[in-house]
Structure 1
Amino acid sequence: MPVLLHIDSSPFAESSVSREVSAAFRAAWQAQHPDGTVIHRDLAAEPLPHLDAAGISAAFVPADQRSPEQAAALALREQLFTELEQADAVVIGAPMYNFTIPSSLKAWLDHVILMGRTAGDAPSAAGTPVTVVSSRGGSYGPGTPRESFEFVTTYLEKVLTGMLGLDVDFIVPEFTLASVNPALAEFVETAKASKAKALQDAEQKAKALAV
């Protein structure tokens, strides 16, 4: 039975474009896989703890020598490893905050990356298709004044592909703050078009996974 891992990291429930687009991807995927399973990790509603010393060291300590803190930390990481490894597809909502990803998503990455298992020479989830919805309030694409400030897609491409061996694609809805920021008022229609394209791309990418 196919499995979709759906990760959201925006703290906004109602006005989040990344959530709306990731939900559109999920709906299209479920329509193609009516018998499939969706694992939804809402990192804003249920944030993961930051990876601490117990979580880092536990994987390298024999089971009978782990402290209770190490055992609990590794149990959480094991759950996250397994969710990624079991997924046939992944969709990640990754809005830009202060030029990079939300800290809640960084915490998930820190937990799920383990050299010798999910990362390294033979990553355990290698080749899994991942669609990242990287929404942003303005525009940071090639040729824009703030191109050099873009650390969402550049970082995630390196981590998800370079470390975890995943097959990553991006959907980038822009100018999401145009309707509320007077300085971006001239881009309201651009924002609408960008969002519409993102929703269309999400549906198409999800449907393509069924081929």
Structure 2
Amino acid sequence: MSTVFRLDASIKPEGSVTRAIEDTLQGAIVADLDATVVKREIGLTPLPSDAWATAIFAGFTPADARTPEQNAAVALVTELADELASAEVAIIGAPFYNWGVTQHLKTWFDLVLADPRFSAGVETPAGSGKQAFLVIARGGGYGEGTPRYGWDHATAWLERILKDVWGYEVTIIEAELTLAESTPAMAGLVDLARQRLAEAHSAAETHGKAVAVKLGEIAAA
């Protein structure tokens, strides 16, 4: 049996673009595959913002001298890392807020990085030989020639952690102009926004089916 890890970081319980694309991707993966899906919700149920610092300082404290808060933070780090490490495929939802990585997602990355299996410089990165999907939603347009070109400081950082630090094979599925439907100033971009969204769902479907075939072949070998 294969395991898929899914991380939801949107603060929207309804109408979230990343959640919808993740649904399409997850559905395509598990449709014909014997798989377990492990979900972590950090958008609607945020992780404690002080846990990372507490866990880091706990690492310099003898185990028998740690405070209850330090023990809880270390346990949280282990729990989050276990969820990710248990899966052959990771689906990471990354909505852009204020032109960058949401605080909820940054907190999750910081905490997982505090686990020895996912820290920088390990001989065999925990994601080696595994697939990660980065599902990105941007409210505006960030491509070359747009007013916000060069403002995307998040995608490269996210990919660097997943690929260069953790060793995953990374596929990016992205939708832009997601605020066009609700922003009068972007009314002229609605059709293009719908096209981009449809393309993102199509990519999710295609990539999901492909990774399901790969996992099925591995299981049958």
Q: TM-score, normalised by structure 1?
A: 0.93
Q: Does 1:91 align with 2:91?
A: yes
- On the 8 A contact 2:77/2:114 being kept in 1, the answer is no
CA distance in 1, matches of 2:211, 2:31: 12
Residues 151-177 of structure 1: per-residue CA shift (max 9 Å, x gap) = 121111122222222221111111111
- Where structure 2 has 5 or more consecutive residues not aligned to the other structure, the ranges are 215-221
Match of residue 68 from structure 1 = 68
CA distance in 2, matches of 1:40, 1:62: 32
Q: What is the root-mean-square deviation of aligned Cα atoms in Å?
A: 1.6
CA distance in 2, matches of 1:64, 1:181: 55
Match of residue 160 from structure 1 = 162
Match of residue 176 from structure 1 = 178
Structure 2 residue identity aligned to 1:209: V
Which of 188, 200, 204 is the equivalent residue of 2:206?
Answer: 204
- Structure 1 residues 27-46: aligned runs within 5 Å: 27-33=27-33, 35-46=34-45
Residues 98-120 of structure 1: per-residue CA shift (max 9 Å, x gap) = 11011101110010013742122
Q: Does 1:16 align with 2:16?
A: yes
Alignment length, in residue pairs? Answer: 210
Structure 1 residue identity aligned to 2:117: R
Residues 75-127 of structure 1: per-residue CA shift (max 9 Å, x gap) = 11101111111111011111111110111011100100137421223322333
Range with bigger deviation, 118-127 or 7-16: 118-127
CA distance in 2, matches of 1:124, 1:59: 20
CA distance in 2, matches of 1:179, 1:117: 42
- On the 8 A contact 1:113/1:164 being kept in 2, the answer is no
Match of residue 147 from structure 1 = 149
SS in 2 for 1:148: coil
Q: Which is strand-richer, 1 or 2?
A: 2
Q: Does 1:194 align with 2:196?
A: yes
Match of residue 2 from structure 2 = 2
SS in 2 for 1:75: helix
Q: TM-score, normalised by structure 2?
A: 0.89
